[in-house]
Amino acid sequence: MAALRYSGLDDTDSEDELPPCWEQRTTKDGWVYYANHTEEKTQWEHPKTGKRKRIAGDLPYGWEQETDENGQVFFVDHINKRTTYLDPRLAFTVDENPTRPTTRQRYDASTTAMEILQGRDFTGKVVVVTGANSGIGFETAKSFALHGAHVILACRNMTRANEAVSRILGEWRKAKVEAMTLDLALLRSVQHFAQAFKAKNVSLHVLVCNAAAFALPWSLTKDGLETTFQVNHLGHFFLVQLLQDVLCCSAPARVVVVSSESHRFTDINDSSGKLDFSRLSPSKSDYWAMLAYNRSKLCNILFSNELHRRLSPRGVTSNAVHPGNMMYSSIHRNWWVYTLLFTLARPFTKSMEVTHLGRGLPLGPKSPGQSSFCFFFEED
């Protein structure tokens, strides 16, 4: 009660008075949750009434929200020159419907990433997003950062990556966001990124494998592999392998692999049903850009499914998602024909704020050739 009295909130209603060992806290988004210090757990429902609450209105005049070195939110009353960890608006909370609505009721085609994460507090979580300087990757990274996560933008072009960091900090100056170099077309760069990340001695709670190439003309990387295959699949596969120990030590953790429904329009097996390695990294004469993209997306799904099978017992889950068909991004920039088609379709597409990974459709293990994909993993 001393803390309540200090913040001017000691006049409480008996029905809402918390039992011993319970504490009322708020997220950055203004949602109220409750911490039990004896059982070391938190929950959204009031321990006595079972109601969910959120903060109503802005902070009183003269108050400002800050974050300490541990990521904990606190409040400063500049007029009376005092500091408290209790939100001064707790006296004016409003009840939310205790019945949790279904996903279909909560989210629709116009739902944004920020709305998906409403009420979520990612303070203390570390998130890596590849290809995060634009498009879906940027919106995903921004949404995580604005909800308290420490976000690392893993990008090939550091100039654009730093610009993306500045844009996020422009929305919230206290966001924990940084850029690191990662070129998926160069396996040595992937290795250097993993080494640099491990040198930070931080956890890794979410790894979003988002970066991708589309409609590229045929070319080989410095590693001697077809570029679309290496950038879209093999580079991410290598990255996950290098960071696997960090993910397991950070459990519960998650890997999100951005795939596509276009994986259904290809196969990686030969006529006898066996895996055809030549289809994964084809020669110039056998190359078709769209087919190469489809195969790389099929590899994404098979990789994610097998990764989940192997690591889920250790607390690391893996999900492959389809971000949606009707969206406008810059992925088409490599060929003028696709640029023209995307431009014509733009009035009917969703923006990147709406088309984000929070609303991605899960892709199940119903693709051909899944059983032969385990060759990408070392034996247990």
Q: Is 166 exposed, middle or buried (0-12, 13-18, 19+ CB in 10 A)?
A: exposed
Q: Which of 287, 293, 328, 338 is catalytic?
A: 293
Residue 6 falls in the annotated catalytic set: no
Query: Residue type at 105?
Result: Q
Rounded to whole angstroms, the Cα distance separating 350 from 348 reads 7
Q: Which residues are catalytic?
A: 293
